[in-house]
Amino acid sequence: MIERAYCLGLDFGTNSVRALLADAADGREVASAEAVYASGRGGVILEAAEPDLARQHPGDYVRGLESAVLEVLDAARRAEAGFSAEKVIGLGAAATGSTPLPVDRSGRPVALSPRFREHPAAQAWLWKDHTAHEEAGLITWLAQKEHPEYLAKSGGAYSSEWFFSKIFRCLRIAPEVFDAAWTWVELSDFLPALLTGTLDPARMRRNRCAAGHKAMWNEEWGGLPSEEFLGRLDSRLAGLRRRLYDRTFTADSPAGGLSPEWSGRLGLRPGTPVACGALDAHLGAVGSNAAPGRMVKIIGTSTCDIVVWPKSEPLYDVPGLCGIVDGSVLPGFFGLEAGQSAVGDIFHWFVNTLQAGGPGRGSHEKLAASAAALRPGESGLLALDWNNGNRTVLVDQRLTGLLLGQTLQTEAAEVYRALIEATAFGALVIINRLEEYGVRVEEIVACGGIVEKNPLLLQIYADVLGREIHVAPSGSASALGAAMAGAVAAGTSRGGHGDFPSAQRAMCAAPRRVVRPQPGATTVYGELFRLYVRLHDAFGKENEGEPLYPVMKDLLALRDRQRRL
């Protein structure tokens, strides 16, 4: 009898943590479990007066982690004869990001202290928090002037979603929290450190993926931006720089062994290898069999696009791309990240806010069913997908949504379809930009929550993008990628794998479904896309004398002024 080996992947998403137990030999998914975060609205702490704010309570991660792992192990015991927790050979963790949290000298989150329990600035600053847009502007301005190389790999701009913008914001609006923090850690670093008992900032292994994509880390200039640069923003940031880090680690390397404390809490063997963390999208790409020529799209509340590119081939800096980081997905390859700040969130907003639904009315299912019966272009509608700003290629959070073409006959399902189409057009802008710079995108692998639930979206994407959409083999690609990281951290001697490519060959199955573009629809969408680009450029690009570029920005400035009255 062959002794089976299992690996455990954790995926800390926006609303919940998912745990997936997979067979290390072939990637078969044995069991999964999900724990919803307790605080705020769906796990997200919001503030009415500050619409850009989105935070999470660190205690939710800790409780969610424990509860999801215990549940998945229970489920595995029921589902699989011969399974025991002893046979889990490795763990990995994916997380949203940039989601930095302030921690004390021992690495403990400041928000877990009684003094700061309720302080919004002491919580984890969730990836989609946009309060730091002013600070992002300052960082971008200074870097463009003095260190353009810092931004060359992240599209020429530093985002309000990212690490230093958020820390700088905290320093300016809540100095008491900044002062109480010894340093700041990404959620994707905090979790492996928590599990391995290496929260001590001097010992904690920081992951290459979040550091490179969100904190301007690059080996070329010896790590993070210099003390001198950060000091030009604020001298206290220079002080913080000394308490941050220089080295980073890819997700195939171990962060350490499971600590006795967490071994006890979870019932797993002490010392079980725990891989270094990575961002959820990047591990999702690993779990979706990322390879050159193939774009992995993780389509959920927002979208992340991941492409890998061999280090042996030339690669230009791609303007407007969120990031190009050596080894952020697969060691030996550049990991390219692009993305859209809101996708599923836009459809949810439409259904929950505008379709104030009576019984059976205005559900996603009903709207999608009616929308599916429409021909491309027959609604006369066109939308921009900027309800949460634009991450790629404009890199501008101060952009907003737009819906155009409505008449008195426009139906809700038409608007719903136009919103899906808008996100597909946004996706095409990204692909076109990549190909303009020589990075080919021949097919799409789609994963993420929406892919499982919305077949209409897949067909529209295939038609708009003019490319096959392969539905990723796993419905939990980020958790599977995390489990694969655990299997690689464990290594072949324990029944795991030597590297990611071996793990992918063994553990990634064939696409569950292939959606092909319909040529007629692709032609019509070509016409609509040209109109989309006109709106995109008029409202999104600061051209000489463009009268519309300031409109969204002026409205947001007025909004913020009026809300503060």
Binding site for a copy of itself (CB under 8 A): 51, 342, 345-346, 349, 353-359, 361-362, 375-382, 387-388, 400-412, 415, 524, 527-528, 531, 534-535, 537-538, 547-548, 551-552, 554-556, 558-559, 561-563, 565
Specify burial of residue 137 (Cβ count, 10 A radius: 0-12, 13-18, 19+): middle
Specify burial of residue 145 (Cβ count, 10 A radius: 0-12, 13-18, 19+): exposed
Alpha helices, DSSP H only, in 107-234?
133-146, 148-152, 163-173, 175-180, 187-196, 208-214, 227-233
- Asked if 468 and 444 count as a contact pair (C-beta separation under 8 A), the reply is yes
Of 145 and 375, the one with the shorter C-beta distance to a copy of itself is 375
CB of 536 to a copy of itself, least distance (A): 11
Of 227 and 345, the one with the shorter C-beta distance to a copy of itself is 345
CB of 51 to a copy of itself, least distance (A): 4
Of 357 and 466, the one with the shorter C-beta distance to a copy of itself is 357
CB of 537 to a copy of itself, least distance (A): 8
Of 198 and 392, the one with the shorter C-beta distance to a copy of itself is 392
Q: Take residue 475 and report the two structure tokens written for it.
A: 């419905």
- Asked if 90 and 494 count as a contact pair (C-beta separation under 8 A), the reply is yes
Of 104 and 546, the one with the shorter C-beta distance to a copy of itself is 546
Would you call 64 helix, strand, or coil by DSSP? helix
Q: Could you give phi then psi for residue 305, rounded to 5 degrees?
A: -110, 125
Can you tell me the distance from the alpha carbon of 289 to that of 297, in angstroms, rounded to the nearest whole number?
A: 12
CB of 376 to a copy of itself, least distance (A): 7
Can you tell me the distance from the alpha carbon of 111 to that of 103, in angstroms, rounded to the nearest whole number?
A: 8
Q: 10 Å Cβ neighbour count for 517?
A: 18
CB of 345 to a copy of itself, least distance (A): 5
Would you call 234 helix, strand, or coil by DSSP? coil
Of 197 and 344, the one with the shorter C-beta distance to a copy of itself is 344
Q: 10 Å Cβ neighbour count for 466?
A: 17
Of 144 and 370, the one with the shorter C-beta distance to a copy of itself is 370
CB of 558 to a copy of itself, least distance (A): 4
Can you tell me the distance from the alpha carbon of 240 to that of 24, in angstroms, rounded to the nearest whole number?
A: 40
CB of 34 to a copy of itself, least distance (A): 23
Of 43 and 192, the one with the shorter C-beta distance to a copy of itself is 43
Residue 44, CB half-sphere, CA atoms under 13 Å: how many?
A: 20
Q: Could you give phi then psi for residue 438, rounded to 5 degrees?
A: 90, 0
CB of 408 to a copy of itself, least distance (A): 5
Instruction: Name the strand (E) or helix (H) holding 72.
Output: helix 58-79
